[in-house]
Amino acid sequence: MAAAHTRVYCNGTLEVSDFPLEDVSNHLARPDTFVWVDFLNPDRADLEQLAVELDLHELAVDDALGPHQRPKLDRYDTHLFLASHWLAVDPAAADVRETEVDAFVHARWLVTVRKDAGFDVNVLTRRWDQSPHLGRLGVSFLLYGLLDVIVDDYFDAVAVFDDYYDEVSEGIFAERPLTPVEQRRWFLMRQALVRFHRLVVPMREAVSSLMRREHGAVSEELYPYYQDVYDHILRVTESTDALRDLVGTIVETNLSLRDYRQNLIMKQVTSWAAIIAVPTLITGFYGMNVPYPGFAEVWGAWASIGLTAGLSLGLYVLFRRKEWL
């Protein structure tokens, strides 16, 4: 049996916590109550009993048990099914930690399914307990708390990406080139940002669909709260779009700087090669076994030395002025 958390609210007030799953139907039989059930990494047997009691659609159950659902909102005759992801960035591992959190939503009950313990359910319950006055609004209040906790953590993830790419932006102008380890970390963080963006953007459509008044899924008094969550998702989406543009700019800048540094090195190597070529040419000429002006004379040796030094110095000064050296 998978770990399960349960709560029952009566007239908007928390009445009982952590009651047995067998009592769900008994609590729902009472008027003015609504129930929350949470499963941690359940198997099919764990959900089957509740699926029969609450008439959960078989496709929704399959989605909750299957891996890697894309964020979405599905509507069935008796309930809604919401797939979402809690996300956090681990800069040390250059990776995004994700926990899929699925929810079956009904006017009288909310069933959440977590694929692993990455999403701390205690944070969620504390969030509900901070706003007890909203409990009278029913299950839509519980769902709002769930979305609010998940989306708020998106801002923490964006802040980690911001700090990392600020550091990268400053580092690419350093004289020391990136090491292979740093380049690999840079690549992994870029992959993490793409995955983060891919999981966040669909949440905008899911929350927007949830808020449509013709479906009546959200209490009228909670619309401003859901609108706040939607606005937060928009801000996160815009931030990730801006970060992706920044990453593209950083890549282009890094390539330009690399080409510039290679150009600079080639100029230096070419300049020194030209300077060294002067004494090589002169000594090679004077090394020929033929008579030439100053042959076997002291002044001829001094002339070759002076010519070598003068031309080399002249080339050095010329290349320095052109900032090739």
At 147, the amino acid letter reads: L
7 vs 217 pLDDT, higher one: 7
What pLDDT is stored for residue 309 in this prediction?
A: 77
Q: pLDDT over 90 for what percent of the chain?
A: 39
Q: Categorize the per-residue pLDDT at 176 as very low, low, confident or very high, splitting at 50, 70 and 90.
A: low
Q: Give the model confidence (pLDDT) of 48-91 as tens digits.
A: 888 888 989 999 999 999 887 889 999 998 899 999 999 999 88
Query: Above 60 in pLDDT, residue 141?
Result: yes
Question: E strand or H helix at 125, and its extent?
Answer: helix 121-129
What pLDDT is stored for residue 158 in this prediction?
A: 93
What pLDDT is stored for residue 190 in this prediction?
A: 87
Q: Give the model confidence (pLDDT) of 254-269 as tens digits.
A: 666 666 677 777 777 7
18 vs 292 pLDDT, higher one: 18
Q: Categorize the per-residue pLDDT at 236 as very low, low, confident or very high, splitting at 50, 70 and 90.
A: very high
229 vs 285 pLDDT, higher one: 229
Q: Domains in the chain, start-ordered, CATH in brackets?
A: 3-257 (3.30.460.20), 263-321 (no CATH)
Q: Give the model confidence (pLDDT) of 120-137 as tens digits.
A: 999 999 999 998 888 899
141 vs 323 pLDDT, higher one: 141
User: CA nearest 58: which of 37, 74, 36?
Assistant: 74
Q: Give the model confidence (pLDDT) of 184-197 as tens digits.
A: 888 888 889 999 99
For the residues 291-311, what does the mean pLDDT come to? 70
C-alpha 129/C-alpha 15 separation (Å) is: 12
What pLDDT is stored for residue 285 in this prediction?
A: 65
For the residues 7-23, what does the mean pLDDT come to? 90
Contact 200, 156 (CB under 8 A): no
User: CA nearest 111: which of 72, 56, 153?
Assistant: 56
Query: Above 60 in pLDDT, residue 1?
Result: no
Q: Categorize the per-residue pLDDT at 214 as very low, low, confident or very high, splitting at 50, 70 and 90.
A: low
Mean pLDDT of the chain: 84
Contact 18, 6 (CB under 8 A): yes
User: CA nearest 9: which of 100, 136, 126?
Assistant: 136
245: how many CB neighbours lie within 10 A of its CB? Answer: 10
Under DSSP, is residue 177 helix (H, G, I), strand (E, B) or coil? Answer: coil
Distances (CA, A) of 284 to 215, 259, 270, 276, 310: 93, 36, 20, 12, 17
Beta bridge partners of 5: 38
Q: Is 293 exposed, middle or buried (0-12, 13-18, 19+ CB in 10 A)?
A: exposed
